[in-house]
Structure 1
Amino acid sequence: MKRKKNLTMKGFTLIELLVVISIILILMGFVVPKFSGYQDKAKTTKAINAGKQIETAAMASYGENEGQFLEDNVEECIEELTTAENPEVTAIGSDGKSVNITYTSDDKNYQIKIDADNDNYLIREFDEDSSHKIIFSNTP
């Protein structure tokens, strides 16, 4: 008696594998851009937080010096009180009531402009090729 051999193959066809790979690639196309968007948002938030720390330190200096921003004292307070990268006072208003400070966060340059008289400040990206986009302002 001859026995019939069961020669049925088990596994997936090439078409089925290609369909699954295509679906995975399509889903990745939705997820990857969102993830990079979250990274950019986190970097911007980090830069804003560094700017807020700088503003607090600069205002501490302002209070110590009887309502005047003094370059050396502002830089000293920033160094002592913040973790900001490369902070530098770039300009002080002629009346000593305003100051511009540049700093770095995640290899991008930012500038904070503080106006003590009006109790406001703004933070902007500060690169040669950017439009100096404002990323935060405490003015209404």
Structure 2
Amino acid sequence: MKLESSAFKSNELIPTKYTCDGKDISPPLLWDEIPIGTQTIALIVDDPDAPGRIFVHWLVYNIPNTTHQLTEHIPTVKTLPNGAVQGKNDFGKFGYGGPCPPSGIHRYFFKLYALDKSLDLAIGATKNQILAAMEGHILVSAELIGRYKRQS
């Protein structure tokens, strides 16, 4: 499976538009080569360079297997029109919360998982709940890394 964005390439800077210094909207994501047997897809976006812990920016799960993209500016609602569910990020909100590092350049890992089942989780699940529910059900995963440093 391959994950990419038309907004930035892997290991390149995430445009300001998708950060707290800009409009703080989600970037467009596109994937393909979904394996046979995939029931749903999950997305986890986090920052391992955050001080003290890995900071979670976006969680989306139970994305239908017929979906091959998340367009720019996904609404910050609990359930998307296609039935996908958004978890709570570490900002305490549903949906996407853009990069906003306190200092230096941080890396943002966009991780996509093809799963052989739907996740039986309440709306607003945490990253740890999603990871536990996915255990043993990941067919394949893909990753896109973006970087960002605050504007001075």
**Structure number with higher relative contact order (C-alpha < 8 Å, ≥ 6 residues apart):** 2
* TM-score after normalising by structure 2: 0.27
Answer with 1 or 2: which has the greater Rg. Answer: 1
* TM-score after normalising by structure 1: 0.29
From the two aligned structures, give the one with the greater strand fraction.
2
